[in-house]
Amino acid sequence: MRFFLFLLIILFSLILRLYKLAEIPGEWFGDISNVHEYTQEVMKGEWPFYFLQSPGPVYHYLIAPYVLLTPYAGYLTYKLVSVLVGMAGIWGVYLLAKEMFSRRVGLVTAWLMSFSFWPLVWSRLGNSQIVIPVIFAFGAFFFIRFVKKRNTLDILFSGFIASLGWYTYPQTFIFVPILFVCYLYFLMTKKMIMTKKYEILLVFLVGIVLVFPLFQIIQNHPYNFESSGYIGKKTNYLLQESPISLTKQMLANYIKTFQMLYSQGDRVFRVNVSGSPIIDSISTVFIILSIIYLITHNRIKVLLNIFIIICLLLVPSVLPTLSSVEIPSSSRSIAIQPLLYLLIALGIRKTFFIIQKKTFSYVRWILLFIFLVSCFVLVLVNISKYFTSYVFGLPNNNFATGKKIAEYIDNNINSSISVYFASCCWTDRGEPEPKAVAYTIQKQRDYIGDSNISDCKEVSRFPAIVIFGPNDKQKIDEYRKCFPDTKENFVVIREQLVFVYIKIQSRI
């Protein structure tokens, strides 16, 4: 029966993640270009192994077989693969919650992950952060199983999975240190340090082997780790600040990050309804009930362990190296998803248990009705937030300018005609990017630019079209001086002037 319930949860998760996936979200932004370009290098057999600003190689190698073996569908391809990775995360969180508490808590946690806004938005986004909670959930699952069964293979599996954090994001570098500290702490509390010395040595040696490729990345691609690089400049800032100043700033950032959960959330429109809390008020109540349950049932140690791990996982998201506008950040905090929804699930499960077992019959039915209505509203609020509020917060109500241009070119411009961009990013949210159009186009073309040109002399492949924004009259006039025998073509979609282009047969 429980296996059947789990399959129903998976099916429900899949339906929510596939519903209108091609339309929501619509616009391809720069992060997806990074995923596409890195994955293309993998598929070409170039064996890329570096950090592209923040993302490392793990996600791109993971998804490359899917991208290679399925027909390319532009942005939809990367959204579909993130759906699959997100589904793997639900399985991992289920296993973790089951191992920590019970199968029923695991089922409730998986159920929450299936529809809650935070996992849902990242499962459909197509970006590489979706792999972070997957890595944490499976790594933590094997560690908890090691704690319960004392099987050396489990701690090795946990270490291997955690070590993927070295090659995923800088924010996941912390996975291995957390695991190793938890491992040593467990052995110390059980007075097993001496009896497990060979196991400790094995774990340590395996850890050294697994971190060695990171040193190769730093050696072969030092620019990202130097003082002026994307990662290095953050480390350099930490070394320059005083410990007292860093502590004050981090405490303030912790407060802002925890407020993100229930009060003031991430303002990045692609990952949140700008400024809204990451979890809903009903879930917040269940977290409080979960905390009360753990305290009143002599499980304070479990609560403290969860809280400490959450705080450690949040370290990369509260570092003073980040600007104030980047805090709070749901993307840098995404590793806490498994533990957060586990706490909510525990509150739901124990509330139901108390109602079922601890009350008189007539009161029980009233409380049960309130409980079921609350759960129904919980589902409704999260789904509604994604498919209504989130959509309205996307640029131009999710009009997806880049996608519209790509569709127009596919349907109306002959594949032998080259495509250039004399302008880009003309909307208020920085869309459309030339890469968003170039990588979304489905039909094979002789040439399409993936960046905007600055001068009409750069148009060198004929025949060609040059694309402008709706308000680029001055630029259009400049290009018409180079190509006087052209005229503007105004493309209107849904009663909206989307872009303007000129068609050029040859250079005069």
Higher pLDDT, 221 or 453: 453
- pLDDT at res. 323: 74
Dist. CA 158–CA 161, nearest whole Å? 5
Q: pLDDT band at residue 374, thresholds of 50, 70 and 90?
A: very high
Higher pLDDT, 231 or 485: 485
Q: Which two tokens stand for residue 452?
A: 């905007």
Residue type, 83: V
Please list, in sequence order, all residues whose beta carbon lies within 8 angstroms of the beta carbon of residue 330, skipping any fewer than 6 positions away: 118, 260, 265, 266, 268, 271, 272, 278
Q: pLDDT band at residue 239, thresholds of 50, 70 and 90?
A: low
Quote the mean pLDDT of the chain.
91
Question: Which single residue is written with the structure tokens 């009705």?
Answer: 369
Q: How are beta strands 496-504 and 464-468 bridged, if at all?
A: antiparallel
Dist. CA 317–CA 173, nearest whole Å? 12
Dist. CA 25–CA 31, nearest whole Å? 13
Domain limits, the chain: 2-393, 401-504
Contact predicate 468/500, CB 8 Å: yes
Dist. CA 177–CA 189, nearest whole Å? 18
Dist. CA 273–CA 163, nearest whole Å? 33
Q: pLDDT band at residue 22, thresholds of 50, 70 and 90?
A: very high
Q: pLDDT band at residue 238, thresholds of 50, 70 and 90?
A: low
Neighbouring-strand partners of residue 497: 492
Q: What's the pTM value of the predicted model, to 2 decimals?
A: 0.93
Please list, in sequence order, all residues whose beta carbon lies within 8 angstroms of the beta carbon of residue 361, skipping any fewer than 6 positions away: none
Write out pLDDT tens, residues 243-292. 787 788 889 999 999 999 998 888 888 999 988 999 999 999 999 999 99
Higher pLDDT, 288 or 321: 288
Dist. CA 438–CA 449, nearest whole Å? 7
Neighbouring-strand partners of residue 492: 497
Dist. CA 240–CA 404, nearest whole Å? 48
Mean pLDDT lowest among 63-67, 133-137, 227-231, 329-333 = 227-231
Please list, in sequence order, all residues whose beta carbon lies within 8 angstroms of the beta carbon of residue 109, skipping any fewer than 6 positions away: 93, 94, 96, 97, 338, 341, 342, 344, 345
Provide the angle, in degrees to the nearest 10, between the axes of the packed helices 30-43 and 75-100.
90
Residue type, 23: E
Q: Which two tokens stand for residue 172?
A: 């996941």
Three-state secondary structure call for residue 327: coil
Q: Taking 60 as the threshold, does the pLDDT of residue 295 lie above it?
A: yes
- pLDDT at res. 247: 82
- pLDDT at res. 237: 60
Q: Taking 60 as the threshold, does the pLDDT of residue 508 lie above it?
A: no
Q: Taking 70 as the threshold, does the pLDDT of residue 497 lie above it?
A: yes
Write out pLDDT tens, residues 135-178. 999 999 999 999 999 999 999 999 999 999 999 999 999 999 99
